[in-house]
Amino acid sequence: MIKINADSKIYILCPADIVTGGTELAHQLVDCLIKKGKSAFIVYVKDNHYAVSEVPKTFRKYSIKMSERPVDKSENVLVCPETEFTFVHTLKKIQCMFWWMSVDNFYLDSTLYNQLRFFGFYITLRNVYARFIRHQQLIGTSRLGKLKKIKNEYLHLYQSEYARNFLLSKNITKLMPLSDYINSEFIKNSFSQLSIKENIILYNPRKGLNVTNKIIAQMPEYKFIPLSGLNRIDLQKHFSKAKLYIDFGNHPGKDRMPREAAMNYCCIVTGKDGAAKHFEDIPIADKYKFEKNEITSIVSTIKDILDNYQTHIDAFTHYREKIMKEKEVFENEVDTIFFH
């Protein structure tokens, strides 16, 4: 178990210059720990090195302290997201815990073709090597003895039920939950705004686009809007007007965009990959979750939702209520892990 005293410093590794749900979550943890009286710091990393960077503008509303690198002392704690496990190479004394914000990102889960297409040969080669090293870390066969501790000795924090089940399947049992909560800017709408809802279907073009394109092809008379390159204000406007958000991506963790859409009274339709298959992660009825090849059924459900929105939106009340409690749950989990 992690031992924390009054002199302990807690360092959270975070990719530099990136604004995602995962990097926001790292900043939220630092913010929570500082407000609860702990010495906590963001440590930015880039290309497997510590990096000097500024806090992204989007995250400056949080209480944040930065450190260029962790101080390697036995009373200190390092929190590594699943993409940064290799940093334990250089540290000998610090207490480590690993935070599974996602599962798929641990393996850099994209096809070799897509990596070559988007990243080029040398970056792809580096990614393939990193994937191999991470696999060795997890199954405990790496020759680097330090890395064996990742599976056998260190505490693993999981953001989703999907991650918890994955870790148990690898015989990793030192587990504790550390989830997340969505940005409060998305928790603003009320029933009074339902009157402005239109027959608009929103989707994330970076996730499950091959399935979405098949759906769009069968529904040429309907309005689909991709959510890409938008600031929070523009994103909020789309959520406010749309009746439906669809997501057939891989759901590497408990994704934020479905929750942001749900809190703005969008109905939700997803696939069954990753976290989406777990009711604990996306607690919506099975009739709103589909296999990717069930295009005809998906199209039929979408049309029914748009035609009978007032009936369907009530089915997502439990989801919204759970989302409203996420920050409280997160803070209680922080207390259990860092204030025992």
Per the DSSP assignment, residues forming a β-bridge with 157 are 99, 176
DSSP string, 56-102: PGGGTTS---B-SS----TT-EEEEETT-GGGGGG-SSSEEEEEES-
Question: Which pLDDT value is given to residue 122?
Answer: 53
Containing H/E element for 12? strand 9-15
DSSP string, 107-140: GT-S-HHHHHHHH-HHHHHHHHHHHHHHHHHHHT
CATH topology for 9-178 is: Rossmann fold (3.40.50)
Q: Strand 49-50 and strand 39-46: pairing?
A: antiparallel
* 335 touches 303 (CB < 8 A): no
Question: Which pLDDT value is given to residue 145?
Answer: 42
Question: Which pLDDT value is given to residue 170?
Answer: 82
Nearest to 298 by CA among 277, 270, 278, 273: 270
Q: How far apart are CA 49 and CA 36, in angstroms?
A: 29
DSSP 156: E
Residue with tokens 């056998």: 152
* 278 touches 165 (CB < 8 A): yes
Question: Which pLDDT value is given to residue 83?
Answer: 82
The token pair that represents 250 in the structure block:
């891989």
Residue-level pLDDT, tens digit, the chain, 340 residues: 789 999 999 999 999 999 988 999 999 999 999 999 999 999 999 887 899 999 999 899 999 999 999 999 999 999 999 888 778 778 889 999 999 998 877 765 444 444 444 445 555 455 555 555 555 555 454 434 444 556 667 899 999 999 999 889 888 889 999 999 987 766 664 444 667 899 999 999 988 999 999 999 999 999 999 998 888 888 888 999 999 999 999 998 999 999 999 999 999 999 999 999 999 999 999 999 999 999 999 999 999 999 999 999 999 999 999 999 999 999 999 999 999 7
Question: Which pLDDT value is given to residue 187?
Answer: 66
pTM here is 0.85
Question: Which pLDDT value is given to residue 147?
Answer: 45
Question: Which pLDDT value is given to residue 205?
Answer: 92
Domain borders along the chain are: 9-178, 184-324
List of residues 6+ apart from 68 with CB closer than 8 A: 43, 50, 52
**CATH number 3.30.230.70 is the correct assignment for the domain at 184-324:** no
Question: Which pLDDT value is given to residue 135?
Answer: 53
Which amino acid is it at 228? S
Question: Which pLDDT value is given to residue 109?
Answer: 41
The token pair that represents 167 in the structure block:
């870790």
Question: Which pLDDT value is given to residue 91?
Answer: 87
Question: Which pLDDT value is given to residue 270?
Answer: 97
C-alpha distances (whole Å) from 190 to each of 105, 186, 310 are 35, 11, 14
